[in-house]
């Protein structure tokens, strides 16, 4: 009996009173201007950011895992029509929605990713199933959807993802893209969604989901489902990104931030600043990240006019913001 008690004390990995919990979320970065959004749309976006933050934070407060908190946030934002993930995703050049997502567990480095989905209501749930219920890390297109069928995930008709706002954005972009080489107009608003979470056991997780970039062609895949580029978590650092995905892939942004912490003795905040504010723009890219360390310190740098973001840090401080 005494031995059992002692081993319970020694080996218990339960939440400790000193271990803070924290959560940061984003709904995309870009040229987000107050003058262009309009009051009622801004209020609705803020309401959905608040609701997603509350959904994830409740998981952590109830003693749940970082992975579950990050998943809860992303599902909520995928279901919102205001962000470019799940419902409300941007359109490809041929007028379809192709969705990408990924998730990573910092404590174990398990990861799951999916790309090129057209009928899965919540791509993040499929990414999580890839991580937890398959021997693989990444699945794409028809194969990923066949796996989703086996996993009994919810399918929707492709029309479910369409919103009038995104359709008009697509028609405008299409009208501008006359030349083949000019056919990928660079979004000035990247609406990817993501979350980074720290639970009461001190474990970190990161998750990201997106419709990609407007007018993307030829099965283009961005950074969001690439583990290391748009999503990364380890024992000390978790990152989810939004921005011009090609640059985030080339710079391996999320993993680079965490590598600077692991090998360069940097704080997560300094590492995120260096990569987002210096390295990405130096190559000509733009965007932002949300990042979190194991003490619950949040940093959310971006080099665009705005980034939809919200957080509750390890000290319980809450922020919901859009503009600089």
256 contacts 274 by C-beta, under 8 angstroms: no
Position 191 contacts ligand ASP (CB under 6 A): yes
Q: Which is nearer to ligand ASP, 111 or 213 (CB)?
A: 213
285 binds ligand ASP (CB under 6 A): no
How far apart, in whole angstroms, are the C-alpha atoms of residue 296 and residue 291?
Answer: 10
Helix (H, G, I), strand (E, B) or coil at 190: strand
Does residue number 116 form part of the binding site for ligand ASP (CB under 6 A)? no
CA distance 170 to 165: 9
What Cα–Cα distance (Å) separates residue 232 from each residue in 3, 87, 201, 253?
39, 24, 19, 9
Choice from 243, 285, 306, 314 touching ligand ASP (CB under 6 A): 243
Kindly give, in sequence order, each residue whose CB lies less than 8 Å from that of residue 282, ignoring residues fewer than 6 positions away.
Answer: none
> Considering only residues 57, 82, 190, 232, which one is a binding residue for ligand ASP as defined by CB under 6 A?
190
**CB 245 to ligand ASP: min, Å:** 2
Q: Which residues are catalytic?
A: 192
Stretch that binds ligand ASP, among 15-23, 62-70, 206-214, 271-279 (CB under 6 A): 206-214
**Interface residues for ligand ASP in 24-83 (CB under 6 A)?**
28
Give the one residue of 56, 222, 285, 301 binding ligand ASP; rule: CB under 6 A.
222
Cβ neighbours of 38 (radius 10 Å) = 10
On whether the CB atoms of residues 148 and 120 are closer than 8 A, the answer is: yes
Among 71, 80, 84, 266, binds ligand ASP (CB under 6 A): 84
Q: Which is nearer to ligand ASP, 57 or 248 (CB)?
A: 248
Please state the closest distance from residue 299 (CB atom) to ligand ASP, in A.
Answer: 18
CB of 176 to ligand ASP, least distance (A): 18
Output the DSSP codes for 211-240. Answer: --STT--TT---STTSBTTTEEE-SSEEEE
Which residues lie near ligand ASP (CB under 6 A)?
A: 28, 84, 190-192, 210, 212-213, 222-224, 230, 242-243, 245
């Amino acid at each position: 009996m005494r031995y059992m008690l002692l081993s319970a004390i020694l080996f218990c990995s339960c939440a400790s009173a000193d271990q803070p919990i924290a959560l940061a979320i984003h709904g995309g970065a870009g040229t987000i201007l107050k003058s262009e959004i309009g009051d009622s749309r801004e209020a609705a976006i803020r309401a959905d950011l608040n609701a997603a933050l509350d959904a994830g934070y409740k998981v952590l407060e109830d003693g749940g895992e970082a992975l579950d908190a990050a998943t809860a946030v992303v599902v909520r934002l995928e279901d919102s029509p205001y962000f470019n993930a799940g419902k409300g995703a941007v359109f490809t050049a041929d007028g379809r929605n192709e969705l990408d997502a990924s998730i990573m567990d910092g404590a174990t480095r398990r990861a799951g990713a999916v790309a090129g989905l057209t009928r899965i209501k919540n791509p993040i749930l499929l990414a999580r199933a890839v991580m937890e219920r398959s021997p693989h890390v990444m699945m794409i297109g028809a194969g990923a959807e066949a796996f989703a069928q086996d996993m009994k995930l919810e399918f929707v008709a492709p029309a479910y993802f369409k919103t009038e706002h995104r359709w008009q954005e697509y028609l405008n972009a299409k009208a501008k893209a006359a030349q083949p080489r000019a056919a990928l107009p660079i979004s000035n608003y990247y609406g990817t969604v993501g979350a980074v979470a720290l639970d009461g056991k001190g474990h970190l997780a990161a998750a990201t989901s997106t419709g990609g970039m407007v007018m993307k062609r030829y099965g283009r895949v961005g950074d969001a489902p690439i583990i290391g580029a748009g999503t990364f978590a380890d024992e000390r650092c978790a990152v989810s990104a939004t921005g011009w995905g090609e640059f985030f892939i080339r710079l391996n942004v999320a993993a680079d931030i965490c590598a600077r912490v692991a090998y360069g003795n940097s704080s997560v905040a300094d590492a995120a600043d260096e990569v987002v504010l210096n390295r990405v723009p130096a190559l000509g890219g733009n965007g932002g990240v949300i990042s979190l360390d194991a003490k619950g310190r949040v940093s959310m740098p971006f080099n665009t006019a705005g980034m939809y973001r919200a957080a509750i840090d390890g000290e319980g401080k809450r922020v919901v913001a859009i503009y600089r």
